[in-house]
Amino acid sequence: MQEYSIEITLQHPDDMMSLFGSNERHLKLIEENLDVIIHARTERVQVLGDSEETVETARLTIEALLVLVNRGMTVNTSDVVTALSMAQNGSIDKFVALYEEEIIKDSYGKPIRVKTLGQKIYVDSVKNHDVVFGIGPAGTGKTFLAVTLAVTALKRGQVKRIILTRPAVEAGESLGFLPGDLKEKVDPYLRPVYDALYQILGKEQTSRLMEREIIEIAPLAYMRGRTLDDAFVILDEAQNTTIMQMKMFLTRLGFNSKMIVNGDVSQIDLPKNVKSGLIDAVEKLRNIKKIDFIHLSAKDVVRHPVVAEIINAYSDSESSHKLQPDND
């Protein structure tokens, strides 16, 4: 028997469907994550649970989502995940503010907004700095937001082109030894970038802009010897750069340009005796005021809720291993 319960009254009967989604998938998501039972009937929602804290967290989550519903917004699974996370970490009072600023509309006309406080800090930093490092685990939206901001700058006439690059560490940067032309060689390593472009611009417009070289996608080695003026430049998977590659990339920055350097220091694929250029850059450049470093965490993961738990579990495991003495 559940010891604690609360009741929430909805303004309109139709709010139930908007709030909990088809087949009540949002309701089930809240129940599973908080170990509560939710009864939804017409204009009343009852939350039952063994813990006062989890029942209260469910209430805060539902009421925050209801604000979006009452504003005519469509609530999707990622919104529920964000609300749950913010209710659990005590920042739910800032949830609605995330939805008050639209970055741009995607190719389907849907607004693109930040989903977490960390993402908002990241976006605000890019607006205010010419060079920004976005450091955090997979699923925190680093690549997607960087591409979104680049496309926004291009559409507003703030830059003339977008340049997207990453180290092809899987090929040892020795792309000349791979069969096929440049596009065929690089494409497998830049799929997340293409996915973001297709969602924001659509496949046809992306292809047209690439044909006109307004959008350029290339391996990091192809940046050598260039000065990138009037450009929005994104380096993805920066944890897999060497120190010299990172220095080479950063010194390509030209006039009226922005650079975003994204990476996940927990996914370094370099040989063990090679130091990551991303880690080195954080150490050497952290005192330069015109460069900003934004650290995202599992709290900013906007995938399935279990992903954040997986990331935390691996982080805890890695931390404990580092604390153990080396017996070799």
Q: Where are the domains of the chain?
A: 4-99, 108-321
Task: Give the per-residue pLDDT at 31.
Answer: 95
| pLDDT the model gives residue 277 | 97
- Write the pLDDT tens digit of every residue in 198-255: 999 999 999 999 999 999 988 888 898 899 999 999 999 999 999 999 999 999 999 9
CA 63/CA 83 separation, integer angstroms: 10
The matching CATH number, chosen from 3.40.50.11900, 3.30.460.10, 2.40.30.10, 3.30.1370.10, for 4-99 is 3.30.1370.10
CA 148 vs. chain centroid, Å, equals 11
pLDDT of residue 323: 44
pLDDT score of 213: 95
Query: What is the DSSP secondary structure assignment for residue 1, as one 8-state letter?
Result: -
Architecture of domain 108-321: 3-Layer(aba) Sandwich (3.40)
| Model confidence pLDDT, tens digit, residues 57-91 | 999 999 999 999 999 888 988 899 899 989 998 99
Neighbours of 183 (CB within 10 A): 11
CA-to-CA distance for 243 and 279, rounded, in angstroms? 9
Q: Please, where are the H alpha helices in 156-242? A: 182-186, 191-201, 203-211
Distance, CA of 122 to CA of 107 (rounded, Å): 23
Element containing residue 79 per DSSP (H, E): helix 77-88
pTM over 0.85, yes/no: no
List, for residues 155-198, the tens digit of each pLDDT value: 999 999 999 998 876 544 444 544 555 556 556 667 888 899 99
- In the predicted structure, residue 23 carries a pLDDT above the cut 90: no
Provide the token pair at 109.
């006309």
* Percent share of the chain, pLDDT over 70: 89
- pLDDT at position 318: 65
127 has pLDDT over 50: yes
Query: What digits encode the pLDDT tens for the residues 103-124?
Result: 999 999 988 999 889 999 999 9
Is it true that 4-99 and 108-321 share their CATH fold? no
Residue 18, pLDDT > 60, answer yes
Of the candidates 9, 264, 14, 282, the residue with the CA atom closest to the CA atom of residue 143: 264
**Residue 1: pLDDT above 90?**
no
Q: How high does pLDDT run on average in the chain?
A: 88
Supply the pLDDT for residue 175. Answer: 47
Identify the pLDDT of residue 227: 92
